Structure 1
Amino acid sequence: MSQQIQWRKSLHDYELSLGEGYVGLPNSLMKKYPAAERALSWQYLFPSAIARVDNTFNVKRRWYTSTRTLQKAVKRAIQIAGVHKHGGCHTFRHTFATELLRTGYDIRTIQELLGHTSVQTTQIYTHVVKQGPYEVRSPLD
């Protein structure tokens, strides 16, 4: 991840040198923090490849990468890696939930993290883990 942060910083520095480097912010934030739209801390970590002119303020802004672009990149990475199973961005969500269960997090915490309104939806992940009663570790161990 540090490579992505470093790359994003260098892109932002380059854009600032051109007099650009703006990011879209809600109007109230632009009023409260006028310098924020050019601050590195407000820039998207995964920015769009194209900066577009915001005609309202006549500045070039870089928005976030679209979800479709990210989905295509993940599909391409799966193919390049030679993984011969179906997968995509949503696979990360399933893996995250399964790993939390496997490492002992309680179902209610996972439910909250995934944003499920019903615990039954979260319980779907329990069949994947398949931990029997002898595989559960006591906190005292």
Structure 2
Amino acid sequence: MESTPQVKPAPKLFPLIVECLQGKHYSKRTEEAYIQWIKRYILFHSKRHPREMGAAEVEAFLNHLAIEKKISASTQNQAKSALFFLYDVVLEQALPALENVTKIKVQKQLPVVLSKQEVQAILSSLDGTAWLIVSLLYGSGLRVMECLRLRVADIDFARLEIFVRDTNGHKNRITLLPASLVEPLKMHLQNVQALHNQDLNKGFGKVWMPSELAKKYPDAGKDWQWQYVFPSSRLSVEQDSGLVYRHHADEKPIQRAVKKVVAQTGIKKMVTPNTLRDSFATHLLEGGQEIKTVQQLMGHADESTTRLYTKVVNTGGRGVASPLDVI
């Protein structure tokens, strides 16, 4: 008598989503954001399984976010990307073009830019690791999380370059390393390496690695070259695996430090850590750098994004002298 072939049960949805995200090298932060959007989508439709739904339900959810929740265009795009990933990659049920989604108008605002004197005032009020991080934001045009996610191998002291890993691994770029930061950064890394050696001696010393690399090189997470340039002050336990890691530092202390020194220096602008990055681009353009070069250093996909900075170059009537000042 032939035995009845056993049907392999379908994998549970959320472990499958995580597996697909990690397989595509999405960052931990993107992974968490996508999972939250997918959960909200399912709850919005009374916990129906996504396989039972399609374009109409996705459009209804995105319109709800736009009209009822009044989210921004970038937030709507993130929710949309999460749902396209769910259907196209995870469920392999490609969605058609969503033609009935209320599109939120993108409000293109001019970036807030600091003067060189204001940058100097901020940097002179910081010290230690906060000074080094903020110096890299301005000196290399890094986003806060790009800076905090830097690995030791990403710093090329000889070529004065920094390799910036895109969160999704598709748009990596190279930016400059200021010569004035070489020695401070080397001294900082000596302390980081001492901390790493302490972790190794205690049986730890591992950092998070992209899933495919982790499978291919199981011990690579303990290698010095893969350690974070700015590690967290404490170890963390991953909930799913129970493994102990030392992740990169959190961005909140940097945000607080910048906010504090801006208040102390009396700068009357809405300044965040990323304002230093905007100032990097603007000051390069003011110094005569070609817009294509700045675009590459900033990692902008479209030149129009970089051109926003040209609108704040030579401010004060776009560089035109007032007739009052020349009489």
TM range (shorter): 0.7 to 0.9
Q: Which of 259, 266, 273 does residue 84 from structure 1 map onto?
A: 266
Q: Give, in angstroms, the shift of residue 121 of structure 1.
A: 3.2
Q: Do residues 40 (structure 1) and 224 (structure 2) align? A: yes
In the other structure, the counterpart of 2:83 is none
Secondary structure of 2:203's partner? coil
Partner of 1:112: 296
The equivalent of 1:94 in structure 2 is 278
Greater relative contact order (CA < 8 Å, ≥ 6 in sequence): 2
For the structure 1 residues 19 and 111, does the alpha-carbon distance in structure 2 shift closer, same or farther, using more than 3 Å as the test? same
The one-character-per-residue Cα deviations of 1:63-116 (angstroms, maximum 9, x if unpaired) are: 12233333223334545xx32114221111112101221232211222233343
Q: Residue 200 of structure 2 is aligned with which of 1, 5, 16?
A: 16
**Higher gyration radius (CA):** 2
Whichever residue aligns with residue 121 of structure 1, its letter is T
CA offset at residue 127 of structure 1?
3.9
Matches within 5 A, 1:34-73: 34-54=218-238, 57-73=241-257
C-alpha distance 117-52 of structure 1, shift in aligned 2 (>3 A): closer
Identity rate, percent: 36
The residue identity in structure 2 corresponding to 1:22 is K
Off by >4 Å, runs of 4+ in structure 1: 55-58
Instruction: Indicate conservation of the 8 Å contact 1:71/1:89, yes or no.
Output: yes
What runs of 5+ residues in structure 1 fail to find an aligned partner? 133-141
Letter in 1 for 2:219: A
Question: Could you tell me which residue of structure 2 aligns to residue 135 of structure 1?
Answer: none
Structure-1 separation of matches of 2:221 and 2:243: 11
Does the CA-based 8 Å contact 1:51-1:63 persist in structure 2?
A: yes
Match of 1:29 among 198, 213, 225: 213
Q: Which amino acid aligns with 2:208?
A: G
Larger strand proportion of the pair: 1
| Aligned CA-pair RMSD | 2.5
Give the residue type in structure 2 aligned to 1:114: M
Equivalence for 1:75: 259
Q: Aligned equivalents of 1:91 and 1:75: distance in 2?
A: 11
Distance of aligned partners of 1:125 and 1:55 in 2 relative to their CA distance in 1, 3 Å threshold: closer
Q: Aligned in 2, Cα 1:18/1:114: closer, same or farther, shift over 3 Å?
A: same
Query: Contact between 1:97 and 1:125, CA under 8 Å: does it hold in 2?
Result: yes
Q: CA deviation at 1:40?
A: 1.3
Kindly tell me: are residues 96 and 48 of structure 1, through their superposed partners in 2, closer, same or farther at Cα, counting changes over 3 Å?
Answer: same
Residue type of the alignment partner of 1:65: A
Alpha-carbon distance between aligned partners in 2 of 1:74 and 1:104, rounded to the nearest angstrom? 28
1:20-76 alpha-carbon deviations (Å, 9 max, x no partner)? 111111221112222211111111111222211235554320112233333223334
Distance 1:76 1:48, change over 3 A: farther
**What's the secondary structure of 1:65's corresponding residue?**
coil
CA 1:76–1:44: 2 relative to 1, 3 Å: farther
Count of residues in Structure 1 that have an aligned counterpart in Structure 2: 130
